[in-house]
Structure 1
Amino acid sequence: MPTRLSPPVAIAIALPLLLAVTVAAIAITARVRGIGEPPPPDTGPLAVAPVESPDASSPECTALLAALPEQLDGPDSPLSPRPIAQAESLPGVRAWAASPRPVVLRCGLPRPAELSPTSPLLEVNGVRWLQLDDGLPEPVQVSYIAVDRPVYVALTLPVDAGSAPLQHVSDVVRETLPATAVAVR
């Protein structure tokens, strides 16, 4: 004759099993619904704040923007172009859809105030960049400013975008704009 479990022992065995089944059901439901996964990047027109860009309409910026690819290398897949809202009033700006924030390139900016004789520069594919983050304790985006070309070019991207966009843009900058001495004060 089989031994019967006392009610407290049966409850002690059944509760962890019930909890495990419930957690598994929640996880499966979340996975099917896509809960917890990052949203797809926004591909609609991007509102870009106007900034001082004295050389945005220069021949150098015009040539650079014309040489930029439609898509930009991304960490997992190519980044699609993103139209600029009111683009006619923002020369020298291009954007690509990325999550959680877009990748934005600006050409023709003034010399960055942060550039000094002791600024650490990052060289990527033959282009020297000044790296600036957003100043948060855990930055969410980073900007790289090409400082060794006839015009200043800034590329701003989410920190988790990896190095592929910067490498891709560095190749285009190197091929389009001649290298110059870094102008420090």
Structure 2
Amino acid sequence: MPLRFARWTGCACALLIVAGCGGAVRVEPPVPEGAAAAACETLGERLPQRLDGADRGESTPASPYVAVWGEAEIALRCGVARPATMSATDQVPEINGVAWYPDPARPTLFTSVGREAYVEVTISRKHVPQNVLLDLAAPIKAALAQTG
């Protein structure tokens, strides 16, 4: 039980996003290793400057594994851990060739699965998740090899 609480607390802290008035958005960066880290850096270079009408902004601390659009409207973290709530029997919808696990407890959190690294995207209710995930599919497919 303490391990489960520690994981939940770690995830909650990692996902804390605080927008400043026109400043950098605070997002806790993940720490991928090896091939996942290299793939996440490649993904960062391929991400769009505009996503569902929101311009790409800056995050703090600066990280090649984090991208944000708008003022905390959309946040992407590459190289996160496998979603703790995902089971082997879950049906995972696919959008343009990328499988996205929707977190049942957080309807604004989606994680791409089945690739070299897990990519987590938090999408505010100002945006249409399908539009955001569709726009992210091409760079994810280009940068992150499928697994399994």
TM-score range, shorter chain: 0.7 to 0.9
Task: Give the match for residue 31 of structure 2.
Answer: 53
Task: Give the match for residue 96 of structure 2.
Answer: 125
User: For the residues of structure 2 that align with 1:161 and 1:48, how far apart are their CA atoms?
Assistant: 19
- Matching residue's letter, 1:111: R
Larger Rg: 1
Report the alpha carbon displacement of residue 160 of structure 1 after superposing the two structures with TM: 4.2
User: For the residues of structure 1 that align with 2:90 and 2:33, how far apart are their CA atoms?
Assistant: 23
Task: Give the match for residue 164 of structure 1.
Answer: 131
| Pairing 1:1-185 to 2, within 5 Å after superposition | 43-50=22-29, 52-55=30-33, 58-72=37-51, 74=52, 78-87=53-62, 90-97=63-70, 101-133=72-104, 135=105, 142-162=108-128, 163-181=130-148
Number of aligned positions between the proteins: 127
User: For the residues of structure 1 that align with 2:108 and 2:64, how far apart are their CA atoms?
Assistant: 22
Is the Cα contact below 8 Å between 1:55 and 1:107 reproduced in 2?
no
Identical-pair percentage: 28
**Higher-strand-fraction structure:** 2
User: For the residues of structure 1 that align with 2:114 and 2:136, how far apart are their CA atoms?
Assistant: 14
Superposed CA offset, 1:113-164 (max 9, x none): 122112120100001111015x3xxx6x511111110111111101341121
User: For the residues of structure 2 that align with 1:153 and 1:64, how far apart are their CA atoms?
Assistant: 10
Is the Cα contact below 8 Å between 2:73 and 2:126 reproduced in 1?
no
User: For the residues of structure 2 that align with 1:107 and 1:55, how far apart are their CA atoms?
Assistant: 11
Unaligned runs of 5+ residues in structure 2 are 1-20
Q: Give TM-score, length-normalised by structure 1.
A: 0.61
User: For the residues of structure 1 that align with 2:124 and 2:74, how far apart are their CA atoms?
Assistant: 7
Tell me the C-alpha RMSD between the 2 structures.
2.3
User: For the residues of structure 1 that align with 2:76 and 2:83, how far apart are their CA atoms?
Assistant: 15
Report the alpha carbon displacement of residue 105 of structure 1 after superposing the two structures with TM: 0.4
The alpha-carbon distance between structure 1 residues 60 and 108, as it changes in their structure 2 partners (threshold 3 A), is same
User: For the residues of structure 1 that align with 2:67 and 2:132, how far apart are their CA atoms?
Assistant: 13
SS in structure 2 of the partner of residue 121 of structure 1? coil
Task: Give the match for residue 18 of structure 2.
Answer: none
